[in-house]
Structures are given as structure tokens and as C-alpha cells.
Structure 1
Amino acid sequence: MALDLERADAHLAAADPVMAALIESVGPLEPRPPRPGHFEALCRSIVYQQLSGRAAGAIFERFRALYGSDGFPAPADVLATPPETLRAAGLSRQKIASILSLAGHFASGELDDANLHRWPDEEVIAHLQRVRGIGRWTAEMFLIFQLQRPDVLPVNDLGINRAIMRRYGLPGMPKPAEVRAIGAPWRPFASAACLYLWRGEDTALPAG
């Protein structure tokens, strides 16, 4: 089920007065569209890990330019690319290993767009975590921004935890159990709550 922002806003405002005030203060959300393909979205996520947006964007464009102007490369094309060519595009050895691992999972059929759409959230996370360099947080961002799943709560996201601490008057950063307890009323629209928390803190969102 994709995120329905109208229903999400109504639910969050009725269920949580703090969230109601946040929605009122930051205004309606305008979610960005997903990337054309899931392989592209995940490659982009890997490239952007631990880099500033401008630097990562330049590397990603050089990586994509290796394959011409006919759209994003297929996993098999990436697997056939010499590592030194990928390195020349600006990718680190660790990110090359991660992208090749991802391409291998797609080329073998272990990952594909149809299954990623069909699998429940936790199954998507479990499959993505088998790829080198993809952890739970990256998988959760994929669920929120690419698959637009409605009820994802990344309990270890620094931006969300900082926003919760400030908005809910906590003395320190919340632990995962506390994030889950505070977020319980947001269900089944935790993803929208996270988007509002990020926006309220003017947090730079993961690359999409």
C-alpha cells in the first residue's frame, strides 16, 4: 500500500497533539517521486552514503555517464564494467564492492522490482541487508522514499531522534524503545510522521 498523505494527515493530527501542531506549522508535504527503477535508486543510495550531496551527485552522474545516455545501466552491464573504470568515476573500493554486490543480486534474480513491490516491509529489509554495504537504515529509506510504504519508523535515524527529543521535550536522545512508544499512535502512518519530523528540523533527506 502506498502512502496516502490526506489520510495520514488526518490520522496523525487526531492521534497525537504534538504531531498535529507540527503538521500545522510546516504545512502539507510534497513527497518527491521515486526513481524510475529500484536498481537505480539503490545504486544512488550507495553512492550517497557518507558523502555531501554535491560530491555524491557528481560521482553518481559520472558513474551513469559511463553507460551513455540511454538511461540507467542494467545490472549485467555494471557487472561487466572493470573495477578500475568504476574507480575512475570516483567510486571508492568499498562502494564499488557494494554496487557490484547489488548488481549481482539483481542479475541473479534474488532482487527484482516485482518482488520488492510485493514483499512486506521486513522482508524487503531482510533481502536488501544481504547486499554488501546496505544496512537496515538504508533499507528503511528505500521503503519510505522509493517504495513509498506508509508505516516505516527508522528508530535509529539521528534526525528523527533529534526531532523527537525537541518536539516531545525529552532530556536526551530517545532510545529505540522510546521512539517506538512515542510513535505508536502514528501507526499505520509512521512514514508520514517521519517526513514531518525531518521537515520540521529542516533535515537534509537521503538522496532520492
Structure 2
Amino acid sequence: MAEPKAAAAAAPGAAGAAARAVAHLRAADPVLRLAIDLVGPYEAELRHAPSTFAALAEAIVHQQLSTTVATTIFGRLVAALAAFTPEAVLATPDEGLRAAGLSRAKALALADLAARCTNGEVPTLEEARALDDATIVERLSAVRGVGRWTAEMFLIFHLGRPDVLPTGDLGVRRGFALVTGAADLPTPKALAAHGERWAPHRTAASWYLWRAAELGDLSPAAQPAPVRRNGPKQDAAGQ
């Protein structure tokens, strides 16, 4: 079976929403203006997955692996199943999941995800769209191997939620240290406190901080052209 492809597309009304988000951030925080001016327009896009199960299963496989290795393992996993569904995973012995290249911990996490999807603990995409952010984070974080970081990435990139600030993300913290000129990374608590001024557009602020972390040197002379990137890079501890 071929691997399901996750297409990326701009959310409906994205241009207007992006413009409003950037205008708010520029007015609310002079510190963030540097990143906005250097990076250019906010260009976040949604990643489409056929189900919550598919989105989280791929996230679990990708944890702590390079994109190339994770993509290969995920492709083997999908090919090994009769259908890429929770029921198919539950019907596959642990050895079958391990044969695709999954570690024992990830095989157990995938089985737990599948069980929670079938019993309704993990919401479908349609159900998730009707839930608030905190409820989604709580329900997804109950899954083995799915921490707050993975739940927040699901909110940002699969549901398009506009006000998510992943304060534990190293890229966001590094970007904040760069735009503020701080020698040390902010604590998640300090970042959350500063980020209150970005609400209700903290997702856009996160995107700019990710881009700032990628740029590294924020001096205008070091930037020949605006950066055009969309997703975060998961750090080794990211879950």
C-alpha cells in the first residue's frame, strides 16, 4: 500500500488572517518587529492528513529521527498494513510493527494510539475542530509517546489554530533569545509571560521565532533575502 501523502495548502482566508496577525504583532511587540522585517510575510500552511490517527502516528514515527530515516520507516509501516487504520495496527503483532523499523517504545506508542482512537478517547479530526485547544492537548497527551509538544504541533499544523505558543520548543526559545539579544534561552514560564502580548496570534509569533532561529544572525547585512519556510524542526527531546 502506498504511503498517504500529507499535502500542504493555505487555509481558507489565510491572507487576510495573516495580515491581521502581523499587524497585531508589530503593534504589540517592538522586539518582534526585527524578525518580522527580516523574514517577510507570514506564510504558515496547513498539513493535511486523512485522520487524527494518521497525523499522530506519523509524528510518533518521526520523533528523534532524521526526516529521511523517519520517512523510510513510516513508508515501510504503511506498506506492511492492509490499511493504515487503528484497527489494522491493533491486528498486527508487535513483531510486525518492529519489522518496519520501529523501536519497541514506538511500537507500544502506536498500539496505544490505535486503541485510544478506536475507543473514542482520541478525537477524530471533525470532533477535534469543535474542541478548545486545552482539551485537545489534554486528550492527545494521554497517549503514550505523545507529549504536549506533539499535541501543540497538531493544533498548529493540522487544525490551523491561531493562538498556540509552544513554550517548550527549543527553536521558539532560541528565536526569542535572538530577537531579544539574550545570552540564555528563556524559561518556558518567562516565554509564556512575554507571549501574552502576542495573543490571539501566538501561532504567528511562534512561526517568526522559528524563522529567527534558522536565520541565526539577525543583522540586516547578514540577510540577502527573506526566508520562505513553514514548519519547525523537532528537537531530540520534542514530543
Shift of 1:46: 0.3
- The reply on whether 1:205 has 2:219 as its aligned counterpart is no
Shift of 1:155: 1.2
Runs of at least 4 residues of structure 1 off by over 6 A?
Answer: none
Alpha-carbon distance in 1 for matches of 2:18, 2:40: 12
Any gaps of 5 or more consecutive residues in structure 2?
Answer: 1-11, 216-230, 235-239
- How far the C-alpha of 1:115 sits from its partner, in A, is 2.2
Asked if 1 retains the 8 angstrom alpha-carbon contact of 2:25 and 2:33, the reply is yes
Q: Hey, what does 1:43 align to over in structure 2?
A: 57
Distance 1:129 1:12 in 2: 29
Deviates more, 1:73-82 or 1:90-99: 73-82
Calculate the aligned-residue CA RMSD, in Å: 2.0
Check if 1:63 corresponds to 2:99: no
Q: Name the structure 1 match of 2:171.
A: 159
Closer/same/farther in 2, CA of residues 29 and 61 from structure 1, 3 Å limit: farther
| Partners of 1:141 and 1:206 within 8 A in 2 | no
Q: 175, 178, 186: which one pairs with 2:187?
A: 175
Q: Structure 1, residues 122-151: CA drift from partner, whole Å, max 9, x if none?
A: 100110111111111111111111111111
Match of 1:9 among 22, 26, 49: 22
Matched position secondary structure for 2:168: coil
Structure 1 equivalent of residue 226 of structure 2 = none
- Structure 1 residue 114: Cα displacement: 2.4
- More relative contact order in 1 or in 2 (CA 8 Å, sep 6+)? 1
Residue 136, structure 1, aligned to residue 136, structure 2 = no
Matched AA of 1:201: A
Question: Cα–Cα, structure 1 residues 28 and 166, in superposed 2: closer, same or farther, change >3 Å?
Answer: same
- 1: distance between equivalents of 2:158 and 2:46? 8
Identity percentage over the alignment? 44
Q: TM-score, normalised by structure 2?
A: 0.79
Q: Is the 8 A contact 2:60 2:109 kept in 1?
A: yes
Calculate the TM-score normalised by the size of structure 1: 0.90
What residue ranges of structure 1 are gaps of 5+ in the alignment?
Answer: none
Structure 1 residue 65 displacement after superposition: 1.4
How many equivalent pairs are there? 204
Once the 2 structures are TM-superposed, how far is the Cα of residue 21 of structure 1 from its aligned partner?
Answer: 2.3
How far the C-alpha of 1:158 sits from its partner, in A, is 0.9
CA distance in structure 1 between the aligned counterparts of 2:45 and 2:79, rounded to whole angstroms = 23
Instruction: Give the C-alpha shift of residue 206 in structure 1.
Output: 4.5
